[in-house]
Amino acid sequence: MHWWSQQACEAAAEAQAADPSPVNLMAAAQVQALVSMAEALHRIAAALEERDESAPPLITRPKS
């Protein structure tokens, strides 16, 4: 888990503990869903960067 996702989850948990109303429960669930999506996008971006580093260039220029 990244530091930013850990902080988001902790903040949502603190808000939920301070006021366990249905609104805060929904907000905590939304934060968790956004963190999950952000982590998935981060993994996808890392995989694409790794793939791009190992692939040959798409455009080759003739040497002059």
Judge whether 38 lies within some domain. Answer: yes
pTM of the model: 0.64
Predicted local confidence at residue 1, as pLDDT:
62
Predicted local confidence at residue 51, as pLDDT:
80
Over residues 24-56, the pLDDT tens digits come to 888 888 988 998 999 999 999 998 888 877 766
**What is the spatial distance between Cα 56 and Cα 53, in angstroms, rounded to a whole number?**
8
CA 2 to chain centroid, in Å, comes to 8
Predicted local confidence at residue 57, as pLDDT:
64
How many Å is the Cα radius of gyration of the chain?
20
Judge whether 34 lies within some domain. Answer: yes
CA 7 vs CA 14, 35, 38, 39, 53: distances in Å: 10, 10, 13, 13, 31
Judge whether 31 lies within some domain. Answer: yes
Judge whether 63 lies within some domain. Answer: no
Judge whether 61 lies within some domain. Answer: no
Looking at the structure of the chain, the number of domains it has is 1
Judge whether 41 lies within some domain. Answer: yes
Averaged pLDDT, 5-21: 84
Domain that holds residue 14: 3-54
